């Protein structure tokens, strides 16, 4: 394999990998405040992509993306409000079944609202054939948009969780719910907020990736599986882990194409997922709070 090829695969890997990382972070935000693994996370990306594609016919691209993010965030709030908040006895199994149900519901709704056609947003700069060359490898400027946006999301979240009172109180909820309530933190509000936040970053990721991977009513499922693998890989609840997990899985996937047929790309991720669950179920950067959640009384 030539050096150019290596670079090419590497860039392709970190591009999709950064999207997996964002999905994984979305999983983590909700998991940390609620203990729920929201399997409808991938659908937020699909919704973001689909809504912006529809809107871009009427308004300029930046407005379409902003509106898509806001609408998806609203959808995230509604989902939590309608299907999650009312659950009297939220056991993990029950919540998993509910979120899987939600993901199917959103997918089918999307099939009826749009249709089964594959669509995509226009490239943010240039078009399909514009390319930038680095070390002999060629890639689309959209790659920079994806990487930049992902980095921006990570920086924003880092700032939000470390320096704002609301962000810190979400971490407090993640660390100890009862103690958080005893500090006067409204847990219900934090749970809503976690859904809104993860829907919003999901939608944004769904928009920037749309020109490269295309968007379809059911594209959320595979993204959710990849993102989930990344989250597990990095250790559920750890954002550093999510980023590392996402990038590693993206790179493994991209590299695998050079060895085995493209059709097996998804199988690679699932093999990694099984491997982690068998050999290192806590993940690479197992978060103390997340892993102790199980045995806390």
Partner 1 sequence: MLRIRNVVAGYGNLTVIRRASLHVKTGEIVTIIGGNGAGKTTLLGTIAGINQSREGEIFFDNHDITKLSSDKITSRGLSLVPEGRQVFSSMTVLENLEMGAFIRYRKGEKDEIISDIEKMYRLFPILESRKHQQAGTLSGGEQQMLAIARALMGRPKLLMLDEPSLGLAPIIVQQIFSIIKELRSFGNTILLVEQNAKAALNIADRGYVMETGHILLEGTSKELLENKDVQRAYLGKEYRRINE
In the complex, which residues of this chain contact partner 1 (CB under 8 A)? 165, 168-169, 171-172, 174-176, 178-187, 287-289
If the CB atoms of residues 179 and 267 are measured against partner 1, the closer one turns out to be 179
* Separation CA 30–CA 181 (nearest Å): 17
List of E strands, the chain: 132-134, 137-139
Reported as type and span, the H/E element at residue 47 is helix 41-55
User: Residue 100 burial by CB count (10 A; 0-12/13-18/19+): exposed, middle or buried?
Assistant: middle
Cβ at position 165, least distance to partner 1 in Å: 5
Nearest of 201, 200, 226 to residue 213 by alpha carbon: 226
Cβ at position 297, least distance to partner 1 in Å: 9
Cβ at position 176, least distance to partner 1 in Å: 5
Query: What counts of helices (H) and strands (E) characterise the chain?
Result: 12, 2
If the CB atoms of residues 90 and 122 are measured against partner 1, the closer one turns out to be 90
If the CB atoms of residues 56 and 173 are measured against partner 1, the closer one turns out to be 173
Nearest of 252, 231, 193 to residue 42 by alpha carbon: 231
* Separation CA 31–CA 243 (nearest Å): 16
Cβ at position 284, least distance to partner 1 in Å: 17
If the CB atoms of residues 78 and 187 are measured against partner 1, the closer one turns out to be 187
Cβ at position 169, least distance to partner 1 in Å: 6
If the CB atoms of residues 178 and 262 are measured against partner 1, the closer one turns out to be 178
If the CB atoms of residues 153 and 290 are measured against partner 1, the closer one turns out to be 290
CB of 76 closer than 8 Å to CB of 206: no
Distances in whole angstroms, Cα of residue 206 to Cα of each of 20, 53, 89, 282 = 11, 11, 33, 28
If the CB atoms of residues 198 and 238 are measured against partner 1, the closer one turns out to be 238
φ, ψ of residue 132 in degrees (nearest 5)? -115, 140
Cβ at position 187, least distance to partner 1 in Å: 7
Cβ at position 289, least distance to partner 1 in Å: 5
């Amino acid at each position: 394999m030539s050096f150019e090829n290596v670079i090419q695969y590497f860039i392709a890997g970190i591009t999709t990998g950064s999207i997996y990382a964002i999905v994984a972070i979305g999983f983590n935000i909700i998991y940390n405040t609620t203990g729920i693994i929201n399997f409808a996370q991938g659908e937020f990306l699909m919704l973001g992509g689909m809504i912006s594609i529809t809107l871009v016919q009427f308004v300029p691209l930046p407005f379409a993306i902003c509106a898509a993010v806001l609408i998806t965030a609203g959808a995230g709030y509604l989902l939590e409000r309608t299907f999650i908040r009312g659950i009297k006895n939220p056991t993990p199994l029950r919540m998993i079944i509910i979120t899987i149900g939600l993901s199917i519901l959103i997918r089918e709704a999307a099939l009826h609202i749009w249709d089964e056609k594959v669509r995509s947003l226009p490239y943010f700069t240039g078009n399909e054939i514009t390319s930038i060359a680095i070390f002999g490898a060629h890639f689309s400027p959209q790659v920079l948009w994806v990487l930049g946006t992902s980095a921006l999301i990570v920086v924003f979240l880092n700032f939000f969780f470390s320096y704002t009172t609301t962000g810190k109180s979400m971490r407090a909820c993640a660390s100890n719910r009862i103690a958080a309530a005893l500090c006067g933190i409204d847990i219900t509000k934090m749970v809503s907020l976690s859904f809104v936040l993860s829907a919003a970053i999901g939608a944004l990721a769904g928009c920037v990736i749309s020109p490269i991977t295309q968007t379809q009513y059911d594209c959320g499922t595979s993204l959710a599986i990849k993102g989930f693998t990344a989250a597990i890989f990095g250790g559920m609840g750890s954002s550093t882990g999510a980023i590392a997990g996402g990038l590693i899985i993206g790179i493994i996937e991209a590299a695998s194409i050079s060895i085995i047929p493209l059709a097996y790309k998804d199988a690679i991720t699932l093999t990694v997922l099984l491997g982690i669950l068998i050999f290192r179920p806590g993940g690479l950067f197992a978060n103390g709070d997340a892993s102790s959640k199980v045995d806390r009384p």
